[in-house]
Amino acid sequence: MASQKTSQTMKPETAAKKLNVYLPATPEEFRSGVVSRDELNALQADPPEWLRDLRRDGPHPRQVVAARLGVSNSALARNGISEALTTAEINALKAEMPEWLQRERATQAEVREEAARLKKRDAERGSPDA
């Protein structure tokens, strides 16, 4: 008995996360349906104009905003940034460089340095986690 292979599908929220885009800014046809694994792969391999525009100009989801600012998601929350930001808004924040952004970037740099130090230490010890 041969079984038919069905295509794996996901909710638009999941697909938007995988594409690193802000779901409310996507076209209605994307938000209202389900996305198959093949459709997701096609969007990643050859993004349509709307996806290229969203990735370039935004609005961007929280994790993308945090990465572009060089801070954590928690840093955004601590400093009242709860909505999606456009590329222009992110660039304006970087140009203005408010005190909170300087402080949070310094904290993030310390976290990365400590993680690198621990990774190096574990590698030297021959830890299986390294």
Can you tell me the distance from the alpha carbon of 7 to that of 19, in angstroms, rounded to the nearest whole number? Answer: 19
The angle, 0 to 180 degrees and rounded to 10, between the axes of the packed helices 62-69 and 87-96 is: 30
DSSP character at residue 9:
E
The answer to whether the predicted template modeling score (pTM) of the entire model surpasses 0.85 is no
Can you tell me the distance from the alpha carbon of 74 to that of 5, in angstroms, rounded to the nearest whole number? Answer: 41
Query: What local confidence, expressed as pLDDT, does residue 46 receive?
Result: 92
Contact, 26 vs 54, CB < 8 A?
yes
**Phi, psi angles (nearest 5°) of residue 36:** -80, 160
Contact, 69 vs 94, CB < 8 A?
yes
pLDDT along the chain (130 residues), means of 10: 67 92 92 90 92 93 93 92 93 94 93 92 75
CA atoms within 13 A on the CB side of 98: 12
